[in-house]
Every structure is written in C-alpha cells, then in structure tokens.
C-alpha cells in the first residue's frame, strides 16, 4: 500500500504536467475546499534537512538570480 508521502509526491508530479488552466483552477478549488486550517502537514527528516541547507546557503550568500537560473536551465535543456 502506498504511503501518504508517495501518494502526495505522485500527485505533485502529475499536477506539474497539467497545462489546462481551467482544470488547474477546478483542482485548486477542490483542494481548497477539502483542506482545513487545522490540518498540519508534517515534514520528513529529508525535507527538514533541505530547509536547513537552504537557510545556510542564504546566510552564506550562495544564491543565484532567477534570470541566471533560467539561463542555466535553457542551456542544460538545449544540451539534451
């Protein structure tokens, strides 16, 4: 049986491929109606570690602009 994390991850992967705006709006409405403010989402140890590493990167100035990241991504995609 799939764990909650595996189901959530699979859904995220599928949502990222959807291009239909109306479908995404409907999905957003469905999720918003079913979620409650009291429901907390727990983080895995791996997610917590990634957040700590991100904070360290920010504190130490290890950043890249969105423009530079977009350029890097395009270069990588064109190299495939």
Mean pLDDT of 62-80: 92
Mean pLDDT of 8-33: 91
Residue 3: pLDDT over 90:
no
Residue 4: pLDDT over 90:
no
Mean pLDDT of 12-33: 91
Which DSSP letter does residue 48 get?
A: H
Single pTM value for the model: 0.42
Q: Please, what's the b/e burial string for 54-76 (b: 16 or more CB within 10 A of its CB; e: otherwise)?
A: eeeeeeeeeeeeeeeeeeeeeee
pLDDT tens-place string over residues 31-66? 888 766 566 778 999 999 999 999 999 999 999 999
pLDDT at 37: 58
């Amino acid at each position: 049986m799939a764990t909650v994390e595996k189901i959530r991850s699979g859904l995220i992967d599928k949502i990222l491929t959807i291009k239909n705006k109306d479908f995404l709006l409907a999905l957003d409405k469905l999720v918003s109606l079913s979620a409650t403010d009291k429901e907390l989402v727990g983080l895995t140890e791996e997610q917590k570690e990634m957040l700590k590493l991100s904070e360290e990167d920010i504190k130490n100035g290890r950043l890249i602009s969105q423009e530079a990241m977009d350029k890097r991504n395009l270069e990588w995609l064109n190299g495939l």
